[in-house]
Every structure is written in structure tokens, then in C-alpha cells.
Amino acid sequence: MNSGEAGSQDRGELPPERKATGTLTLEAVTEAPWAPPAGEDSPEDLLRRCAHMDDAQAWENFLIRFNPLIEATVARIVRRYGFDGPGLRDDLVQEVYVKLCANRAKVLREFKPRYPGAVFGYIRVIAANVVHDYFKSKGGKYPPDPSPLPANLAAPDETEWRLLVREIEDVLRNASVSARDRQIFWLYYRQGMSAKEIAAISLLKLTHKGVESVIVRLKELIRRAFEDDKRQ
């Protein structure tokens, strides 16, 4: 390994060969029973064949390979809305296929394989979107209620908190922290995403450890800035 690669790993960035499956923690999914059997089309090639809408064999393979993932995703999101039942799940799975085929398979044609295995995350998002759209049309409640404040934590009042947010943003900007790292900071501390969830955003090209190291670095930066300010 050359020094450049070592450097990128120290920073928690994915080396090129691992970026392939590092996002959306899809390793587990691609290693699951839906992984392409040896000698068959890659998932991306299969999607391309299906997009022509005239290849029955490709669609049969698609169903064998992707349907369990679609079913499992639909089941999970349906339950998040507090519903269940095979009838509703079957109907929504059917809607997923209607969405996949609509406009001469526009959804499949638009897919861009930005990294190997991205197709699994894509299909899951399409399935999740169909379920969210269904419940939205029925007035379903989403997103869930925010987590309650733990009893041992005293919160500042709202004005004070908003001022604090602004001052922390000033500290980050004055220290020339990159936009990407500032976004990671706010997703973690304001939106309550975990490092693992943030690492699922493929655009950031960071592992779970990489996200954690950004957070630790910025946390220290802010604490130091506030302490310096106090001393002055």
C-alpha cells in the first residue's frame, strides 16, 4: 500500500476498491442469497436487459434475484406505519413493479451504476418510495415523533439553542471546515443521524469510522473555541 492509500484510510475514506460496496452498508445485502450466481448477468446488466421490456427471461431472473429484497423492504416500511398483512404487502409489491415498468421502464433506464452493487440500494429506495407514497395518499403519519429528551439532560430554551447553533456554525466556517464536514456535523448533532447512517450516504464516500473521525475532530474544535472565548 502506498502512502497515499494509507493516508486516505487514516482519514476513514474508502479506498477505491472498497467504495464499491461500502455505501449503504450493502456488503451484507450483496452477500445475501440475492448475490448474482456465478456465470450469470451482473445486477446492472440484468437491469439493463429488463429496461428493454421485451426480455421475459431477464424479468424472470430479476424476480428471482430482486423480489425477496423488494418484499422485505415493503414489509419493513409497511410496519413502520403500524400496518401489516399479506394482502396489503402483495398489493404494494405489485405497485413496485408497476413503478418499475411505467414509462417503458423509465426508472430502470435512468439507473446509473455509480458503484458495483448500487442497484440493490436503488431497488430498495424505489420500493420504499412506493410504500411512502401509498401511505402519504392515505394520510399516514410520517415521520415518527421525535425521540423524547432524556430525563438527565437539561435543554437550553429555544432562542438560546438557536443562537448556539448559529455560533457553532460561525466557528466551523471561521475554521475553514469544508462544506461536507459541516454537513456531517449537523446531520449528526442536529438531525440525530448516527455515524453509520451518515456513512450510508454514498456522496460522502466515507466509512462509518471516517464519519466518526470527522465528528470527533469538529467536536474538539468547537470545545476549544468556546473555552478560548471564555478565557478571553
Partner 1 sequence: MNIGDRNGGDPIERLQAGALAHRRPQKTRGCPDEDRLRLLLPGQVEPEEAEELLAHAAECDWCGTVLREAARDLNDPPTGEEEELAGKARLADPRARRGLVERIVPRQRPDPDPKPWFPILRWWPAAGLAAAALAGVVGYPLWAHSAAHTQRLLAQAYTERRQMEMRLPDAAWGHAQTQLGAETSSFNEPPELLDAKINIKRGIAAHPKDPKWLQLEGRAELLGGKEDAAIAELELAHALRPGDASILLDLGTALFQKSEKTDDAKLRAEAFERLSEGCRLKPGDAELLFNRALAAQRMSNFHEALDDWQAYLQIDSTSGWVPEARKYRDEVKKNLIGSAPTPPPQPQTH
Residues 4-23 that bind partner 1 (CB under 8 A): 23
Q: How far is CA 5 from CA 14, 70, 134, in A?
A: 9, 36, 45
Among 186, 209, 213, 217, binds partner 1 (CB under 8 A): 186
**39-58 mask for partner 1 (x: CB under 8 A)?**
--------------xxxx--
Q: How far apart are CA 106 and CA 93, in angstroms?
A: 18
Please report whether residue 63 would count as binding partner 1 according to CB under 8 A.
yes
CA angle 209, 215, 219 (to 5 degrees): 145
Applying CB under 8 A, the site for partner 1 has a residue count of: 98
Among 51, 77, 172, 177, binds partner 1 (CB under 8 A): 77
- Could you tell me the smallest distance in angstroms from the CB atom of residue 129 to partner 1? 5
- Could you tell me the smallest distance in angstroms from the CB atom of residue 63 to partner 1? 5
C-alpha gyration radius of the chain:
22
Q: How far apart are CA 78 and CA 93, in angstroms?
A: 11
* Closer of 1 and 155 to partner 1 (Cβ): 155
User: 94-118 in b/e burial notation, b at 16+ Cβ within 10 A?
Assistant: ebbbebbbeeebebbeebeeebebb
Which residues are bridge partners to 13 per DSSP? 206
* Closer of 23 and 207 to partner 1 (Cβ): 23
Judged by CB under 8 A, the stretch of 4-12, 38-46, 59-67 that binds partner 1 is: 59-67
* Closer of 9 and 72 to partner 1 (Cβ): 72
Q: How far apart are CA 96 and CA 101, in angstroms?
A: 9
Show contacts with partner 1 in window 114-173 (CB under 8 A).
114-115, 118, 120-122, 124-125, 128-129, 132-133, 142-144, 146-150, 153-156, 158, 160-165, 167-168, 170-171
Q: Under a CB-based contact definition with an 8 Å cutoff, are residues 208 and 195 in contact? A: yes
* Closer of 41 and 71 to partner 1 (Cβ): 71
Q: Which of 162, 155, 206 is nearest to 184 (CA)?
A: 206
Show contacts with partner 1 in window 85-114 (CB under 8 A).
86, 89-90, 93-94, 97-98, 101-104, 110-112, 114
